[in-house]
Amino acid sequence: MRLMCPHCKDMAYTRTSEQLTTTSRWTIFVCRNPECGCTFKAVTEINCMLSPSATPDPSVVIPLSSHVQRGLLSQLLQTMPTRQHTRLSPPVTGDLFDALPATG
């Protein structure tokens, strides 16, 4: 992975990196411009999935991208069977303010 040096805008290369968690890693970058010599640390983090895994690890929680969520919901709704709604009892909808004591 390459990043741009924040000072001279030249490309910086990876010198070393270490896994922090299952979804993040820190990396030390060195600017390739010898006149700049900037060295910096960056953190890379997985923040959403664009395509769900075919072999998901249940201990890893990564949210789905909103476009994937909409697509999965649409697919789920198309495959769900439908059933006529039946009301078992009449609705109880009293006036909320009938229960308040009168003020004088």
pLDDT in single tens digits along all 104 residues of the chain: 889 999 999 999 999 999 999 999 999 999 999 999 999 999 999 998 888 888 989 898 888 888 777 777 777 777 878 777 777 777 677 676 666 666 65
Whether the full predicted model's pTM is greater than 0.85, yes or no, is no
Query: From the CB of residue 87, how many other CB atoms can be counted at a distance below 10 Å?
Result: 6
Q: What is the rounded distance in angstroms from the CA atom of residue 82 to the CA atom of residue 78?
A: 10
